Amino acid sequence: MHRRLVVVAAVLAVILTIVSFTSIGSTPPAGAQGQFDWKRYAGKQIRFLVNSHDWTNEIIRPATAEFEQLTGIKVAWEIFPEDQFRQKLAVELVSGSGSVDGFMSLTSWDGLRFMKAGWYEPLQKYLDNASLTNPQFAFDDFFPNTRQIATLNNTLIGVPLYPEVQLLYYRKDLLQAKGIAVPQTMDELEAAAKKLTDKANNFYGYVTRGKRSAAVYTLAPYIFNFGGQWLDKDNQPQLTSPAAVKGLDLYGRMLREYGPPGAVNVHVYEVYDLVSQGRVALATESSLGVSTFEDPKKSKVVGQVGYARVPRGPAGSHTPIISWAISIAAQSKNKEAAWYFIQWATSKEMVARQAKLKIPLARKSVWDSATFQAALPKDWLSSFQGALADGYPNQANPLVVAVPETRDAIGAAIVAAIEGQDVKAAAEKAQKTVAEIIKKTQ
C-alpha cells in the first residue's frame, strides 16, 4: 500500500516537473491555467514602420506606452506619410537588414509583389498557436470580406485595419433645392451633375480623382458597373472590352464637362477639400471621407452631405474593397514579439477606440456596438454595408505583381480621356503596355 502511494507520488512529481519545464517563460498564476501570458517576450525591442493616418497617429501612437506596460516589449513606432513610407520601407526591405519587424501594407497595392519578394511572414501559424494568441482575439470577428483582403494565394499575411469601399457623396441641400433625386443609375448621375454645374460661379457638379495613378481606384466602379473586369482568368488585362471603354469614356466626360478645371491633378485630398469647402455637389470617392466631411474643423458642410451607394450600371453597383493591414516582416528577428503587438493593436479594446474617431473598422462586434452606430451617419452605415457585400476585394487595380507600373499605364489613359482625346486608342495603348508589364513581371 505504501509502495503504491510512493510510486504514484513519484509519477506525479515527475509529471509536474516535466510540465513546469515545458511551460517556458510563463509563470501561470495559481488556478489560471488558460491565462494568456502577455509578458512572455518582455525585454524585446521591435520596430514598426507605418503609414500616417488617424489610426496610427491618434490611436496607436499614444497607446504604445500601454502596450509596453502590458508586455514589457519596447516599440519604436515610425510614422511617415504614404509616399515617404513606401520609399523608406522599400529601401529597408531590399537591404535585407532585418531593421523592420512589422509594417502596414495595402494589400491591393503591395500584396502580390511583397509575396513574390518573400517579405511577408504568414500569420496563420501564429493564429493557430494558442500559446501565442490571446484567446480573446477572435479573428473571425473580422468581416469575411476584410479577412479575404489580407489573404493572398491562400496565405494570410496581415490583419485588416480600416476597410474602404467607394460611396457617392451628395449635397442633400442642393439636390433638394433643385428637386433632384439621389442618383441611382449612372445615367441619373450624369443628368444630376449636368443640372448642378454652374461654371460661371466656380461651382461644379461632380468630382472624382483625375491624377494618373490615383484615378485608377475611382475608375474601377465605372468599369465594374458596366460588366467589365480588370483581368480575365488568365491574368490578361481587359481594358479594351466594351465595358471598360464605355466606363473610361463616361469617366472622362464626367470630369471634363462637370468637373473643376485642373481635374487631371485631383487626388483624394483635393476631392475631400472640394466637397468640404462646398465647391462641388457630387463625388465618388473612398468611404473614409466621412471623417473629413463631418469634422467642423475641416468642413463647411457638416451635416449637409448625404451618403449613398455608387450609382449602378447595367451590371449593378460594385466597388473595390481595400484595406490597409498590419503585417510582420519575414526578415524580422522578433516575429513573436511583433505578433504580440499586432494582436494587441487589433484587439477588440483597441478597435473600439476607432469608433469614437469615426474611423471605419473591420470587427463586426465593434461595428454593431452602440458607440459606432451612433458616431456615424445612418446612411453612411447602410451604404457601406451594402457596398461591402457587393464589392470586389482588392480590385482597386488589376491584381498583379507590378501594380504601380500598371496603374501608371492605365492612369495615362484616364488622363487622355479627361482631356478629350480618343478613348479607344488610349485604352488600346494601356492594354498593350499592361500586357507587356504582366508578361515581364508576373
Residues 139/150, Cβ–Cβ less than 8 Å: no
Q: Which residues contact 4 (CB under 8 A, 6 or more apart)?
A: none
268 binds other proteins, rule: CB under 8 A: yes
Taking contact as CB under 8 A, which single stretch among the options 144-152, 302-310, 380-388, 404-412 is the one that binds other proteins?
404-412
Distance CA 409, CA 113 (A): 17
Residue nearer to other proteins on the CB measure, 56 or 229: 56
417 binds other proteins, rule: CB under 8 A: no
**Beta strands 280-286; 166-171: pairing state:** antiparallel
Out of 65, 91, 130, 389, the only residue in the binding site for other proteins (CB under 8 A) is: 91
Q: Rounded to the nearest whole angstrom, what is the least distance from the CB of residue 137 to other proteins in the complex? A: 26
Q: Where in 163-192 is the site for other proteins (CB under 8 A)?
A: none
Q: Rounded to the nearest whole angstrom, what is the least distance from the CB of residue 118 to other proteins in the complex? A: 4
Q: Where in 294-313 is the site for other proteins (CB under 8 A)?
A: 297-300
Sequence-ordered alpha helix ranges (H) in 357-402:
364-367, 370-375, 378-390
- How many helices (H) and strands (E) the chain has is answered by 20, 12
Residue nearer to other proteins on the CB measure, 209 or 312: 209
442 binds other proteins, rule: CB under 8 A: no
Grid coordinates representing 290 are 466621412
Q: Rounded to the nearest whole angstrom, what is the least distance from the CB of residue 70 to other proteins in the complex? A: 21
Q: Where in 210-229 is the site for other proteins (CB under 8 A)?
A: 211-213
81 binds other proteins, rule: CB under 8 A: yes
Residue nearer to other proteins on the CB measure, 93 or 427: 93
Angle between helices 107-117 and 403-418 (to 10 degrees): 150
Grid coordinates representing 157 are 499575411
Out of 79, 127, 352, 435, the only residue in the binding site for other proteins (CB under 8 A) is: 79
Q: Rounded to the nearest whole angstrom, what is the least distance from the CB of residue 269 to other proteins in the complex? A: 5
> How many Å is the Cα radius of gyration of the chain?
25
Out of 97, 131, 155, 176, the only residue in the binding site for other proteins (CB under 8 A) is: 97
Grid coordinates representing 78 are 515610425
51 binds other proteins, rule: CB under 8 A: yes
45 binds other proteins, rule: CB under 8 A: no
Taking contact as CB under 8 A, which single stretch among the options 53-61, 220-228, 347-355, 365-373 is the one that binds other proteins?
53-61
**How many residues of this chain interact with other proteins, rule: CB under 8 A?**
66
Residue nearer to other proteins on the CB measure, 78 or 173: 78
74 binds other proteins, rule: CB under 8 A: no
Q: What are phi and psi of 281, to 5 degrees?
A: -95, -35
Distance CA 179, CA 157 (A): 49
- Among 184, 192, 132, residue whose Cα is nearest residue 312: 184
Q: How far is CA 355 from the centre of its chain?
A: 16
Residues 100/332, Cβ–Cβ less than 8 Å: yes
Q: Rounded to the nearest whole angstrom, what is the least distance from the CB of residue 351 to other proteins in the complex? A: 18
Q: Rounded to the nearest whole angstrom, what is the least distance from the CB of residue 433 to other proteins in the complex? A: 8
Q: Rounded to the nearest whole angstrom, what is the least distance from the CB of residue 148 to other proteins in the complex? A: 22
Q: Which residues contact 361 (CB under 8 A, 6 or more apart)?
A: 161, 162, 163, 351, 354, 355, 367, 372
Q: What are phi and psi of 42, to 5 degrees?
A: -55, 140
Q: Rounded to the nearest whole angstrom, what is the least distance from the CB of residue 360 to other proteins in the complex? A: 12
Q: How far is CA 108 from the centre of its chain?
A: 8
Distance CA 392, CA 386 (A): 12
Helix (H, G, I), strand (E, B) or coil at 159: strand
330 binds other proteins, rule: CB under 8 A: yes
Residue nearer to other proteins on the CB measure, 81 or 316: 81
Distance CA 394, CA 115 (A): 15
Taking contact as CB under 8 A, which single stretch among the options 110-118, 134-142, 341-349, 387-395 is the one that binds other proteins?
110-118
Grid coordinates representing 71 are 508586455
Out of 286, 323, 327, 397, the only residue in the binding site for other proteins (CB under 8 A) is: 286
260 binds other proteins, rule: CB under 8 A: yes
Q: What secondary structure letter does DSSP report for 40?
A: G
Residue nearer to other proteins on the CB measure, 243 or 415: 415
Residues binding other proteins (CB under 8 A): 51-54, 57, 76, 78-82, 84, 86-88, 90-97, 99, 113, 116-119, 202, 211-213, 260-265, 268-269, 272-273, 277, 279, 286, 288-289, 292, 297-300, 330-331, 401-402, 404-405, 408, 411-412, 415-416, 419, 441
